[in-house]
Structure 1
């Protein structure tokens, strides 16, 4: 069990190089300390560092990934230990969008292969201009104007890609059965809605995918789905390499069923594929993106430590309760009947009045915040934490 006393200095441990603007979110206050070597931090901010072999001190309350993917974090173990895991969806969206559109046009014009071939002419001296004129016909490409782009996943990145592709005079089809209201507001009405993936596959000249890796999306690009697509389709993957069955992709590229495969996730097999364009995982690699992600991650951690509120968690339910400065009890627990009643009974046993509360669940777990109306001075209410932690199903509890 873990608890946070009110005036305790909070230690933040950065892993990798976190943009200074993000760390400055904490350094502007005296009750925060940045310590790269801390064995008992209150929170960790991380980029790509592999945390699966790390053990976590019971004082650790939060891990924030300065990026969208959390495959480098043992999320299930964190949940069991009551550690909230944040990510930063949308913070790197513009960076990824720009690279997707760059590769969309460059691959369509055979720019990558053309540049590589031209560099191979080094040493030909005065013959280079003549060789270029004679050899350029092998790199004749096609324009994207008037072609159809299929966008799978219309979240922060997919929506930006779809909208900007329209401005490039492409026709755009989108598919996302889980589109949020906020994203729908930001999506152009000229993006056509596909009622199924099969419809999108059948009608797209180019396909770009922006979905997380799940059991339902793993190897969604395979020989069965390639058979539905237009011959020569270009597929852009800046989400996860595992979305593609690489054995089937190699065969499809060799036969011409797929014209190009542009991926941000190269490996030995991809490098051997005909007409594959391997990008060295540059999707979010811009200074602006790194700063946006660091700022967003730091602000989410700071808000959680100071108020208990949760935004953009991948394992806790997103939960918000306006913070008025009253003493707040925040408990993470199993999502079972009468849990909230047991917590409120424990508080009432101390003759404390409940001013406000919120409870949100996510699968097998839930998160409850309760504001206490009474003015309580000094240290954490004696015995209250212990009483709540004794409730069967409580994972962590703290008083803010």
Structure 2
């Protein structure tokens, strides 16, 4: 990636403690100012930004994590602010906890440990009580059992591949699987043609999909009826994927043997045979560092080149820098925008070296590299001409 020298240091604001490795990516080229009212970019983890008013300089928000529920994405889109996340940066951390939970719950490990701790004070009787009491915690081995993986993105693919190494049979379902993920997925993973097929086959089911209108409450009375009796369900994605009233009933009847969730609440804690994990899925030092570095690099690349990777509201765009200046315009996805932008550039006797246009829903993003030199006096005129075009949201001259 070619780096474009910036005329002045831009301001980066952090709204949470961001791992030092991530901040190191930005140090030197940028001013890190956590008190700025009008930064050029924000790096955030879980801070709730829903009611924040954005300054007119803000160009990007990077979430050091996968979920962006704490960011007003629609508002950002309307104001031309790109929102990044870091898919896959915490995948290994979540994968390890998923597979740990599969083995631990299969062997009744959590219940056994809690019981053993209650033996404190029994003195010389502890060893005898352990030997007689351990029978109530006899479990089953994960080897030879079937793991169903719903969602084969960065996390799901890792879970599926490593579960095979444990000797499990793995069946996966993902109607939207990407080509890159498909290449990384072991050929031994069976593909379910329908989610109902997965429900009927699996001894363990782990889900790795976002919470949307389509997936909300996807685990419910109707889907439980399709599953094996005693199935273990693991939820390290979002609590809202499960209808809690139906889950409580399924656990009480034994239809669901155990529910392992990273999202405990008052209702969940009242259920029997629940393993409530205090949102530890991505809580490792390595995961936090990976997310911070990835978020910082994406912000840096965008500010310096206009290129976009892993945005949740802008299209993905990458154009190697080949000109003297670059125009980056975010606009409504309507006809003749590229032509109007090109005309605005040529009206100032500037030649185009390269360009790219990508759309995402109602919006699009156009980058144009200018072949000829652009002096400082011309830049404001160029920006003004492009901003005069109807349906332009924001314009940057890099």
Per the TM superposition, whether the score is higher than 0.5 is yes
Match of 1:375 among 368, 373, 397: 373
Match of 1:212 among 210, 216, 222: 210
Q: Which residue of 2 aligns with 1:113?
A: 111
Query: Contact 1:5 / 1:399 at 8 angstroms: preserved in 2?
Result: no
* 1:289-304 correspondence runs (5 A): 289-304=287-302
SS of equivalent to 1:228: coil
Instruction: Determine which of 53, 70, 73 is the counterpart of 2:71.
Output: 73
Q: CA deviation at 1:276?
A: 0.6
Q: Secondary structure at the match of 1:13?
A: strand
Runs of 4+ in 1 over 2 A off after TM superposition: 377-380
Once the two structures are TM-superposed, the CA of residue 382 in structure 1 deviates from its matched residue by 3.3
For 2:89, the equivalent position in structure 1 comes to 91
What is the Cα deviation at residue 354 of structure 1? 0.9
Structure 2 equivalent of residue 9 of structure 1? 9
1:64 corresponds in structure 2 to: 62
Assess if the C-alpha contact under 8 Å between 1:331 and 1:368 holds in 2.
Answer: yes
Asked whether the 8 Å contact 1:105–1:143 carries over to 2, the reply is: yes
1:127-155 deviations in Å (ceiling 9; x for gaps) = 21122122111111111110000000111
Cα distance in 1 for partners of 2:130, 2:377 equals: 78
Q: Answer whether contact 1:6 1:380 (CA < 8 A) is retained.
A: no
1:91-134 CA deviation, whole Å, 9 max, x = no partner?
11110000000011001111111111111122222221122122
What is the deviation of 1:9?
Answer: 1.2
- C-alpha deviations, 1:233-269, integer Å up to 9, x for none? 0000001111111110000000000000000001001
1:350 to 337, 342, 348: 348
Kept after mapping to 1: 8 A contact 2:196/2:226: yes
Task: Tell me, in whole angstroms, the C-alpha distance in 1 between the residues paired with 2:393 and 2:6.
Answer: 20
> Which residue is 1:25 aligned to?
25
What secondary structure does 2:127 align onto? helix
Give the TM-score of the pair, scaled to structure 2.
Answer: 0.97
The CA distance in 2 between the partners of 1:178 and 1:53, in whole Å, is: 33
Q: TM-score, normalised by structure 1?
A: 0.97
Query: How far is 1:6 from its partner?
Result: 4.5
Q: 1:225 to 1:265 in 2, by over 3 A?
A: same
Q: For structure 2, list consecutive stretches of 5 or more residues without a partner in the other structure.
A: none
1:222 aligned residue: 220
| Matching of residues 1-400 of structure 1 within 5 Å | 6-27=6-27, 29=28, 31-324=29-322, 326-378=324-376, 381-400=379-398
Contact kept, 8 Å, 2:106 with 2:140, in 1: the verdict is: yes
- How many Å separate the matches in 1 of 2:41 and 2:275? 39
Distance (whole Å) between structure 2 residues aligned to residue 303 and residue 325 of structure 1: 16
Instruction: Indicate if the aligned counterparts of 2:322 and 2:354 stay in contact, CA closer than 8 A.
Output: no
Q: Mean alpha-carbon deviation: is it higher for 273-282 or for 121-130?
A: 121-130
Tell me how many residue pairs correspond in the alignment: 395
Change (3 A) 1:227 1:374: same
Between the aligned partners of 2:5 and 2:106, the Cα distance in structure 1 is: 59
Asked if the contact 1:380–1:399 (Cα under 8 Å) also holds between the matched residues in 2, the reply is no
SS in 1 for 2:134: helix
Q: In 2, are the aligned partners of 1:16 and 1:46 still within 8 Å (CA)?
A: yes
> In the aligned structure 1, how far is the partner of 2:354 from the partner of 2:314?
20
CA RMSD of aligned residues (A): 1.3
> Please, which runs of 5 or more residues in structure 1 have no aligned partner?
none
CA gap 1:343/1:122 in 2 versus in 1, 3 angstroms: same
